[in-house]
């Protein structure tokens, strides 16, 4: 089986699995499509010469800020902070706080910091 695959695939311009299955229809008694697809997927030459068929991503576009306070917000997380076990503002969970979530209005720049835990 391996010799047939090598002759068909490596000897003929490294065609894809569908083309190989079409070419091997007379040779293969049962359709071993999984074997053929696996062989093509792991072919070193094909893997090295694979080209990306994805569309090139464009430039990032900024989010339009609508002049209404609180309409558009940004959320950031600050993690890995020293543990705070006592808070006068927030009810402290067991183990204390070690993270901050910052919520900022994109128009008026008001920011709220909410403590939390990473786990
Ligand atoms: Zn190949």
Domains of the chain: total: 2
The Å distance, Cα 43 to ligand 1 centre, comes to 5
Residues 6+ apart with CB under 8 A from 78: 99, 100, 101, 102
Residue 68 lies in a domain: no
Residue 61 lies in a domain: no
Kindly state the tokens that stand for 24: 């091997």
Same domain, 42 and 77: no
Same domain, 78 and 41: no
Residue 25 reports pLDDT greater than 70: yes
Residue 102 reports pLDDT greater than 90: yes
The predicted-structure confidence for 30-48, as pLDDT tens digits, reads as follows 667 888 888 889 999 998 9
Better pLDDT: 10 or 113: 113
Residue 94 reports pLDDT greater than 70: yes
pLDDT at residue 72 in the model? 92
Which structural domain range is residue 19 located in? 2-48
The Å distance, Cα 54 to ligand 1 centre, comes to 20
What's the average model confidence in pLDDT over 5-11? 83
* Residues by chain with Cβ below 5 Å of ion ligand 1: 14, 43, 45-46
Residue 82 lies in a domain: yes
The Å distance, Cα 57 to ligand 1 centre, comes to 28
Residue 54 lies in a domain: no
Residue 66 lies in a domain: no
Q: What is the Cα–Cα distance from 43 to 12, expressed in whole angstroms? A: 13
The Å distance, Cα 24 to ligand 1 centre, comes to 16
Residue 58 lies in a domain: no
Beta bridge pairs of residue 100: 78, 115
The predicted-structure confidence for 56-88, as pLDDT tens digits, reads as follows 999 999 888 899 999 999 999 999 999 988 888
Residue 65 lies in a domain: no
Q: What is the dihedral of CA 42, 43, 49, 50, to 10 degrees?
A: -40
Residue 57 lies in a domain: no
């Amino acid at each position: 089986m391996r010799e047939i695959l090598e002759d068909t695939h490596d000897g003929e311009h490294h065609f894809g699995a569908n083309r190989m299955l079409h070419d091997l229809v007379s040779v293969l008694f049962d359709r071993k499509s999984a074997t053929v697809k696996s062989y093509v997927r792991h072919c070193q030459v094909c893997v090295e010469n694979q080209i990306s068929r994805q569309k090139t991503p464009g430039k990032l576009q900024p989010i339009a800020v609508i002049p209404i306070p609180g309409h558009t917000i940004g959320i950031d997380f600050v993690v890995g902070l020293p543990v705070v076990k006592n808070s006068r503002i927030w009810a402290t969970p067991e183990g204390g706080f070690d993270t901050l979530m910052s919520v900022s209005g994109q128009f008026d720049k008001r920011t709220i910091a909410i403590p939390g835990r990473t786990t």
